[in-house]
């Protein structure tokens, strides 16, 4: 309650402002007196991956930068052409690294000397997205056969993870509600209305793995299993306790 004692009457607009101030203060005081229970829980949905990303490329070395670049360009052109012949669209082939640098002679640690350039190294790396995971073994075999000598990573994923997030949200809400009912029963109280729901975090976990095998071991129909990918959502809910 806010009261004023003034010698002179205030204008009507000022009195209305004080009356408006009183209501929120009263509601805030009432809310702070409410007993609540606050819990968080995670919902996780796993699925079979329906796409796979491959990081692969060609590294070449030669005495001159020009020679190294020419060799690299020739090998990389064959790799990209073969990928397109397999039905992989240009949008699913993206250059992620290109570098040209010197190669220095390795000197013994106990005999320090100024570095000597003995050649040049060119690296061209691409990220390939396969919309059909069944193509993976064949594609790995083909790119290695045509000159790719780097396969840095293979990552199985999901084309539309947002749809899975919605399922994970529903599951998270069910899990946190079940937990809240258990706590309320154990405490001898009853859950009231939900006061707030907030999403603390959501995450998409594709399945990543290193290169499948050394380059000289790559053979036709490389055996690789897709496994599962998962999506997780964590929510926090606050209930009033009756």
CA distance 21 to 6: 18
Residues β-bridged to residue 102: 120
pLDDT 10s digits, 172-210: 999 999 999 999 999 999 999 999 999 988 777 766 655
CATH, domain range 51-107+116-157: 3.30.70.2970
The mean pLDDT value of the chain amounts to: 81
Considering the chain, tell me which residue range(s) the CATH 3.30.70.2970 domain(s) occupy.
51-107+116-157
**Taking a C-beta distance cutoff of 8 angstroms, is the pair 212, 151 a contact?**
yes
Q: What is the pLDDT of residue 212?
A: 44
pLDDT classification of 225: cutoffs 50, 70, 90: low
Confidence of residue 111 (pLDDT cuts 50, 70, 90): confident
Contacts of 128 (CB under 8 A, 6+ apart): 53, 54, 56, 83, 88, 92, 93, 139
3: exposed, middle or buried (Cβ count in 10 Å: 0-12, 13-18, 19+): exposed
At residue 218, the pLDDT reads 43
Is residue 231 pLDDT above 90, yes or no?
no
Average pLDDT of the residues in 16-31: 44
pTM above 0.85, yes or no: no
Average pLDDT over residues 17-36: 53
> Which of 32-36, 59-63, 209-213, 215-219 is most confident?
59-63
Express each pLDDT in 132-180 by its tens digit.
888 888 898 888 888 899 888 888 888 888 888 999 999 999 999 999 9
Per-residue confidence (pLDDT) for residue 208, from 0 to 100: 62
Give the pair of three-digit tokens for residue 194. 């939900």
Domain 35-50+159-242 has CATH 1.10.760.10: no
Any idea which of 33-47, 69-83, 225-239 has the lowest mean pLDDT?
Answer: 225-239
Residues carrying CATH 3.30.110.170, the chain: 35-50+159-242
- The conformational region for residue 63 under phi > 0 = left, psi -120 to 50 = alpha, else beta, is alpha
């Amino acid at each position: 309650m806010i009261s004023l004692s003034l010698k002179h009457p205030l204008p009507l607009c000022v009195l209305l402002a004080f009356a408006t101030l009183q209501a929120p203060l009263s509601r805030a005081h009432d809310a702070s007196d409410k007993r609540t229970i606050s819990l968080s829980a995670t919902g996780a949905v796993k699925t079979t991956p329906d796409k796979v990303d491959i990081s692969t490329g060609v590294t070449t070395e030669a005495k001159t930068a020009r020679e190294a670049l020419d060799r690299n360009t020739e090998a990389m052109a064959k790799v990209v052409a073969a990928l397109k012949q397999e039905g992989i669209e240009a949008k699913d082939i993206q250059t992620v690294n290109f570098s040209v640098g010197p190669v220095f002679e390795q000197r013994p640690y106990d005999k320090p000397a100024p570095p000597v350039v003995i050649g040049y190294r060119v690296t061209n790396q691409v990220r390939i997205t396969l919309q059909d995971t069944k193509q993976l073994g064949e594609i790995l075999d083909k790119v290695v056969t045509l000159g790719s000598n780097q396969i840095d990573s293979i990552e199985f994923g999901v084309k539309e993870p947002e749809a899975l997030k919605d399922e994970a949200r529903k599951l998270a809400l069910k899990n946190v509600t079940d937990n809240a009912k258990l706590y309320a029963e154990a405490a001898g109280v009853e859950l009231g209305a939900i006061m707030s729901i907030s999403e603390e975090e959501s995450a998409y976990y594709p399945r990543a793995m290193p290169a499948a095998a050394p380059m000289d071991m790559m053979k036709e129909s490389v055996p690789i299993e897709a496994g599962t990918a998962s999506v997780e959502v964590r929510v926090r809910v606050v209930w009033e306790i009756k």
